[in-house]
Amino acid sequence: MSNIVLVGAQWGDEGKGKVIDYLTDKVDVVVRSQGGNNAGHTVVVGEKKYILRLIPSGILRKGKLCVIGNGVVIDPVALWEEISELAAHGVKINSKNLLISECAHLVFPFHKTIDEHGDALRGAQKIGTTKRGIGPAYGDKIARVGIRLGELLQPDIFAQKLKARVKDANVVLRAFDQKPVKFKRLLDQYLEVGEKIRPLITNTVLTIHKAMAAGKEILFEGAQGTFLDLDHGTYPYVTSSNTTAGGACTGSGVPPNRIDRVVGAMKAYTTRVGEGPFPTQDAVVADLMHSMGREYGAVTGRARRCGWFDSVSTRYAQMLNGIDELAVTNLDGLDSLARLKVCVAYKLDGKKIEVPPTCVRQLAKCVPVYVEVDGWQTQTSEARSFEELPPNAKEYLRMICDLTGAKLKLVGVGQSRAQTILV
């Protein structure tokens, strides 16, 4: 084994929660390095369904250390809720299984208000954010007015910094016709929750390096997906962090030469939630998924947009992230189809292209070039080995991997832990 980065190869919701849960079994430490509680990782253990937002999915495996790295933005109230929910399900959190970086930035309620009203103001150009305050919190970090978790533990400094920040935030809130923040109330609320999580907060760079020095193996669990990456995604219809493989390094303090392998998670089809171009979006796939009760967001409950497998984008994702192996999830979602479409190129202004344009306006004009293949019309949810899959399903998976340019490692045929095929 080795240190693995898991990334989403599409627009998020690739079924990473399940893949992380599987990979966690093989490692010692699980690290989140970007994003915030905009993420929703669903893991089904026995009869129980867990939706993890900030806490690494590794928390559900006994004896694993989970780390929330410096690159994550943290709403401490939401974090405490998640800790309490887990405790109610018998998963006890303490400094033995969860450590949080003192350099991670805080998300405040005014970030959420600004996120929501700012996006609404964009009208037809709205991004369709999760309204969790993620963009505004990262905005503060980049503008160097953010407040970090370590400062929450120093009440005097925290009060001073928060007072200045609230004063500026209130100018914006008033412009949005929103109630200004009451400084004292917010201060008390955050200091109180700060005390609750104090034992978990530390310099996690040292934690991770100590673990590596002791020969422990690490999984970096990505949140969101490649095309939501702030730099490489369909800007501005992206999230505000680096969701591609490099984000694992900057967001945790682990140097690139300690990463051994990159695993890309992808669905056997494609989904996207929120606005922005999505070339292979197709009503046939959406109707099928939604009729089965699938593809509703884990965090916001929104119906996801659905479409065919798009090899133009996954091939680009393979290159960007250096994906060695693929975990293809939700294969069973396609079981009933007689014919499937596979996007092998785009047509832009009548010209065939095999690389997605970086400009959203051009991407929005791209028309997919499909080849059609026969479906398998056989239930795959009971299959437990690659051999047991119907021939056309095997052929489809081979096609996905050949076109994407990575080896097949794992196939998901249902939500439960058992419905995982190792290749």
CA distances from 90 to 21, 83, 99, 254, 356 (A): 17, 11, 19, 32, 46
Nearer to ligand IMP, 215 or 301 (CB): 301
Nearer to ligand IMP, 36 or 150 (CB): 36
Q: Provide CB contacts within 8 A for 423, sequence distance 6+.
A: 386, 408, 409, 410, 411
Look up 41 and say whether it is catalytic.
yes
How many C-beta atoms lie closer than 10 Å to residue 8's C-beta? 28
Look up 13 and say whether it is catalytic.
yes
Minimum distance, C-beta of residue 341 to Mg ion, in the bound complex (Å): 24
- 222 is a contact residue toward Mg ion (CB under 5 A): no
Q: Provide CB contacts within 8 A for 52, sequence distance 6+.
A: 17, 39, 40, 41, 43, 59, 60, 82
- 225 is a contact residue toward Mg ion (CB under 5 A): no
Both ends of the chain: CA-CA distance in Å? 16
Give me 233's structure tokens.
């995604």
Angstrom distance (rounded) from CA 182 to CA 180: 6
Angstrom distance (rounded) from CA 251 to CA 258: 14
Site size toward ligand IMP (CB under 6 A) is 20
Residues 263-282 within binding reach of ligand IMP (CB under 6 A): 273-274
CB 16 within 8 A of CB 265: yes
Amino acid at 397: L
**Binding partner selected for residue 150 from ligand IMP, Mg ion, none, CB under the kind-specific 5 to 8 Å limit:** none
Which one of 4, 23, 31, 39 is in contact with ligand IMP (CB under 6 A)?
39
- 135 is a contact residue toward Mg ion (CB under 5 A): no
Which one of 10, 33, 38, 330 is in contact with ligand IMP (CB under 6 A)?
38
Taking CB under 6 A as the binding criterion, the range among 129-137, 319-327, 329-337, 364-372 that sits at the site for ligand IMP is 129-137
Amino acid at 160: Q
**Binding partner selected for residue 60 from Mg ion, ligand IMP, none, CB under the kind-specific 5 to 8 Å limit:** none
Mark residues 197-236: x for contact with ligand IMP by CB under 6 A, - for none. Answer: --------------------------xx---x--------
Nearest residue to ligand IMP, scored by beta-carbon proximity:
274
- 322 is a contact residue toward ligand IMP (CB under 6 A): no
Angstrom distance (rounded) from CA 341 to CA 330: 16
Mark residues 293-332: x for contact with Mg ion by CB under 5 A, - for none. Answer: -----x----------------------------------
- 56 is a contact residue toward Mg ion (CB under 5 A): no
- 101 is a contact residue toward ligand IMP (CB under 6 A): no
Which one of 40, 71, 277, 356 is in contact with Mg ion (CB under 5 A)?
40
Catalytic residue, candidates 21, 28, 41, 335: 41
- 37 is a contact residue toward ligand IMP (CB under 6 A): no
Q: How many CA atoms lie within 13 A of 164 on its CB side?
A: 10
CB 402 within 8 A of CB 321: no
Mark residues 9-28: x for contact with ligand IMP by CB under 6 A, - for none. Answer: ---xx---------------
Which of 263, 257, 204 lies closest to 65 in space, CA to CA? 204
Angstrom distance (rounded) from CA 233 to CA 360: 9
Sign of the C-alpha dihedral, residues 282, 287, 289, 290? Answer: positive
Taking CB under 5 A as the binding criterion, the range among 121-129, 175-183, 198-206, 292-300 that sits at the site for Mg ion is 292-300
Nearer to ligand IMP, 140 or 335 (CB): 140
Q: Footprint of Mg ion on this chain (CB under 5 A)? A: 13, 40, 298
Catalytic residues: 13, 41
